[in-house]
Amino acid sequence: MIELNKLLFLKRINKNNLKEFATVYFFIFLNTLVFLIDSFNLINISSYTLTGFYLLIIISLAFKFLIESRKVNIFYYILAMFISAIIIFSSLTFYPDNIPFLLTAICSFLFISPFVLKKENSNTKFLNFSLNLIYLSCFALFSTFILFLGLYGTFKTIAYLFEFGISNRIYELITILIFCAILPIFIVSNLNRKLYADAFNKPLVFFVSNILIPILTIYIFILYLYFLKIIFTFELPKGELSTLILAYAILGIFVYFLSLKIPTNKLVNLYKKFFIYTLFLPIVFLYIAIFIRVKEYGITEPRYAIILTAFWLTLSFIYLLKNKNGFEIKYIFLLITFLCLFASIGTFNASKVASKSQVERFKQILVVNQLLKNNQVLAVKKDLSYENKKELTQLSSYINSNSLAIQELEPYFKELMDKNNKKTLRYNILVLLQIEPTYSKIEDSIKSNNIAFSKEMVDISNYKKVIKLQLIEKQTEKVFYKNELKTQIEVSVRLDKNKLIINKKEKEIVFNILEYLNTLEYNETTNFGYIKAVLEKEGIKIRIEYLNKNNSNEIKNCTFYLIL
């Protein structure tokens, strides 16, 4: 294992390290320079472009490991970096929502880069390399974060004690230098051959064999009991089943890889022997859960990720099953890299597929309600059902945040846009359709344990103080303000038994929140997104923003503005 006292302290970069990772240091310098240029507003650079330069550091390091493994000509390194830059910036420019897929592809490739071109089975080296790289990265991140807090705290202390004004630009500069320069330099300057040393220390072995494997064993028993319940009762799987299955399958596969290199006991042996077979039924039910959600709500980027992961699990399951005694972990990670690249920039990338799916759902509702004629959308003349209005509101919210979806839907609104003098469709979809935004019904929201309220403006004329508070049950907060006579007034606020109790000048003012909620009137066009939850009594206003209840209908948490 890597010796922390030798590896994990930032050392002066020696000539050999600088020469070996010269291209990586170049991209670190370039990345820092770009962030500084953007920070000082010398050139307006998008956040996606800034992300791209950071990704270039990771991919340059990955290709450095790759060419070292087989002494590949430097020309191929330059060519690979050029192609990578095109892929990265193309994806970030045209499909910015695909960043998680692109990042996953690059990180996955980094872990397998030293082993891709090697023919021999390198599972042990791969695990040691990956674990040591993770140890180093985590320690580097922790150390630089402590450095950031130290410098930030030092400047704040100086500013406070000596009443010395420090520009926010200084704090921006500290953040950029630490996380764009020092953090990656910390990692690269400490890369050496000990990355391939034994990484299976005692804490890791204990954690895998005595915590993770027992938890996963219990977890799969629970899942299988639920699968049996579905089979015998013929009920559809719950909506979040796919998340539960993915949590078991993904964590289970990585623990399975680790279990191959740790000392065995009875439970570890059973896990290694039967884990692969336990994946079959979860994968089957995963596809069922995906089919139900996609049929009902279409494809979004998160559902695309679930579908992609299901495909990866299926191929990994087949590969591990066929090569149980001779599989290579690098192929599992190589598959992740290819699939995530496909999701980032391919013809059927995540953003493209998701936007097309949601636009089709939008068009289907229009067709059902006879609002689409000759590929042109018509304004609503008759009242739509509550469900249709709510679904159109949700879809328009998604489309407004997705440039691809806007581009695809805009031609259908051309006549309405011309008629209403609208230059863009974004944020004008419901206006052009003449539909009020519709969310969850009041009745449904009150039954819910979490209720959010609209953020409409509240008249605070003739009031002196606005204070935002968050209280849990039985908690009391004290606030102070000055009245017209400049006299300091103390006010205490307590959340108790569904009531906000305010004590001011020895006078108690009680706001019964649940009683207020029950007075809200319900009709088809009203929804909690439009309710201005303001209570007023004896010169005090309460503007509720959010509250949380338990199953006994007791308020446990309330966020509100106290207006005095």
* Gap between the Cα atoms of 543 and 469, Å rounded: 10
DSSP 8-state class, residue 197: S
CA 253 to each of CA 246, 495, 529: distance values in angstroms, whole numbers, following the listed order: 10, 47, 43
For residue 445, pLDDT beyond 50:
no
**Radius of gyration of the chain measured on its C-alpha atoms:** 29
For residue 242, pLDDT beyond 80:
yes
| pLDDT, mean over the chain | 83
Over range 360-369, report the average pLDDT: 91
Q: Is 521 helix (H, G, I), strand (E, B) or coil?
A: coil
Using pLDDT thresholds of 50, 70 and 90, give the confidence band for residue 238.
Answer: low
Over range 356-375, report the average pLDDT: 90
Q: What is the pLDDT of residue 191?
A: 85
Residue type, 181: A
DSSP 8-state class, residue 426: T
CA 6 to each of CA 116, 130, 338: distance values in angstroms, whole numbers, following the listed order: 29, 19, 36
Give the Cα-Cα-Cα angle 255, 256, 261 (nearest 5 degrees). Answer: 95
Backbone torsions φ then ψ of 241, nearest 5 degrees: -60, -40
Rounding to the nearest 10 degrees, give the CA dihedral for residues 140, 142, 148, 149: -160
For residue 529, pLDDT beyond 60:
no
Using pLDDT thresholds of 50, 70 and 90, give the confidence band for residue 519.
Answer: low
Using pLDDT thresholds of 50, 70 and 90, give the confidence band for residue 484.
Answer: low
Neighbouring-strand partners of residue 357: none
Q: Is 378 helix (H, G, I), strand (E, B) or coil?
A: coil
For residue 215, pLDDT beyond 90:
yes
Over range 419-445, report the average pLDDT: 72
As a whole-number percent, the residues of the chain with pLDDT over 70 amount to 87
Residue with token string 């009683």: 515
Over range 190-212, report the average pLDDT: 87
Q: What is the pLDDT of residue 41?
A: 76
pLDDT 10s digits, 12-59 = 467 777 888 888 999 999 999 998 888 887 777 777 888 889 999 999
Instruction: Sheet containing 507-512: give its strands across.
Output: 476-482, 488-496, 499-504, 507-512
For residue 209, pLDDT beyond 80:
yes
For the question of whether the overall pTM of this predicted structure is more than 0.85, the answer is no
CB-based burial label for 510 (10 Å; 0-12, 13-18, 19+): exposed
* Gap between the Cα atoms of 160 and 75, Å rounded: 55
As a whole-number percent, the residues of the chain with pLDDT over 90 amount to 35
Q: Do residues 99 and 107 lie in contact, with contact meaning Cβ atoms separated by under 8 Å?
A: no
Of 247, 174, 237, 246, the residue nearest 212 (C-alpha): 247
Q: Which of 97-111, 248-262, 331-345, 454-468 has the lowest mean pLDDT?
A: 454-468
Q: What is the pLDDT of residue 27?
A: 92
CA 526 to each of CA 131, 322, 403, 440, 514: distance values in angstroms, whole numbers, following the listed order: 54, 58, 29, 9, 19
Tokens for 36, please give them.
Answer: 């500084």
Q: Do residues 32 and 25 lie in contact, with contact meaning Cβ atoms separated by under 8 Å?
A: no
Tokens for 445, please give them.
Answer: 């929201």
For residue 443, pLDDT beyond 50:
no
Q: What is the pLDDT of residue 381?
A: 77
Q: Is 523 helix (H, G, I), strand (E, B) or coil?
A: coil
Residue with token string 């190589």: 334
For residue 442, pLDDT beyond 50:
no
Over range 153-161, report the average pLDDT: 87
Tokens for 321, please give them.
Answer: 């099953």
Task: Report which secondary-structure segment, H or E, holds 297.
Answer: helix 280-297
Number of C-beta neighbours around residue 16 at 10 A: 9
For residue 419, pLDDT beyond 60:
yes
- The 3-state secondary structure of 221-283 reads HHHHHHHHHHHHHCCCCCCCHHHHHHHHHHHHHHHHHHHCCCCCCHHHHHHHHHHHHHCHHHH
For residue 441, pLDDT beyond 60:
no
Q: What is the pLDDT of residue 532?
A: 55
Residue with token string 């959600």: 293
Distance of CA 228 to the CA centre of its chain: 32
Give the Cα-Cα-Cα angle 351, 356, 360 (nearest 5 degrees). Answer: 150
CA atoms within 13 A on the CB side of 397: 10
Q: Is the torsion defined by CA of 40, 41, 45, 46 positive or negative?
A: positive
Over range 324-328, report the average pLDDT: 86
Q: What is the pLDDT of residue 254?
A: 94
DSSP 8-state class, residue 382: S
For residue 94, pLDDT beyond 70:
yes
For residue 128, pLDDT beyond 50:
yes
Residue with token string 């440039």: 403
pLDDT 10s digits, 162-185 = 877 777 788 889 989 999 999 999
For residue 81, pLDDT beyond 70:
yes
Number of C-beta neighbours around residue 355 at 10 A: 25
Over range 295-320, report the average pLDDT: 93
